[in-house]
Amino acid sequence: MVAHSLWERRAAGSNPVIPIVNYSIDHSMYIKQYNPPEPTIQGTHRVADQPLIYYREILPEPLVDIMVEELKEMERFNVPFEDAQVGGDSFGRQDHAVRNSKLNWWPEHHWTCSVISHYIGLANRTYWEYDLNLLESIQISVYDKDGHYDWHSDYGTSVKGNWTRKLSASVIVSDPIDYLGGDLEFIDYHGNLVKAPKEKGTIIVFDSRIPHRVTPVTHGRRVSLVTWMYGPKLK
């Protein structure tokens, strides 16, 4: 199992907040049926036109229910969840105006890592062809009423400076009928606002550099599994 530094283990260390102040949000910009175009082939390279791809309801419901049962077991045993932070390893702090959620982790040897890494690898081979070599632990993110995470990017380099986050993935664990709000939204490569699907069992894979957010939950609880794939620094 790979030992992670405090920077890698805490959500604070990898999610710099990026203020988005110049975008005029227009509901006509939402892409309801998002089908990313096939990448452009230029010589031996693939050029992705869009920064994200999702696999809608790709995980069978019984498999997701096993994840849910494990999470319920953590609650039954009173496993503590920590307040999510922002600001990096050196300046990590709680700021509920920016990020309001609870976190815990499943380690690299947890069975969910193999499932999620498969779809990250599939998306990478199709769209980005990034040099990847290390999967982060699975972050369990819980958003209760008023929970949210404002615009930010996942991109960042580890404390030792040898690995960089390149691709991020989010697995929707909650059934969309169990909560309101809590939309995962992105600003794509072209400045458009894209809203990800909310169906249980959906996996969203995206370029770690792009701004994204989780809008406030107005009712119920939203639970997702989040992880990141690392590789050598971009050059």
CA 165 – CA 73 distance, rounded (Å): 31
Using CA atoms, how far residue 148 sits from 62, 121, 129, in Å, is 28, 28, 31
Count CB neighbours of 77 within 10 A: 7
Domain ranges of the chain: 6-19+46-230
Collapse the DSSP code of 6 into the 3-class scheme (helix H, G, I; strand E, B; otherwise coil) and give the result. helix
The CATH class of the 6-19+46-230 domain is: mainly beta
Residue-wise pLDDT for 150-169, tens only, equals 999 998 866 657 889 999 99
Mean pLDDT of 3-30: 38
Residue 6 above 50 pLDDT? no
pLDDT at 197 over 80: yes
Structure tokens at 113: 């890592």
Pairing of strands 82-83, 179-181: unpaired
pLDDT tens readout for residues 100-145: 999 999 999 999 999 999 999 999 998 899 999 999 999 999 999 9
Question: Taking 70 as the threshold, does the pLDDT of residue 207 lie above it?
Answer: yes
Q: Which amino acid is at 67?
A: M
Residue 159: what pLDDT? 60
Query: Tokens representing 191?
Result: 């400045």
**pLDDT over 70 percentage in the chain:** 76
pLDDT of residue 92: 74
**Length of the chain measured in residues:** 235
Lowest mean pLDDT among 1-5, 49-53, 82-86: 1-5
> How do beta strands 102-106 and 212-214 pair?
unpaired
Does the pLDDT at position 27 exceed 60?
no
36 pLDDT tier (thresholds 50, 70, 90) = low
Beta strands in the chain (DSSP E): 40-42, 45-47, 52-55, 82-83, 99-100, 102-106, 134-135, 138-143, 148-152, 164-172, 179-181, 184-187, 193-195, 203-207, 212-214, 217-220, 222-231
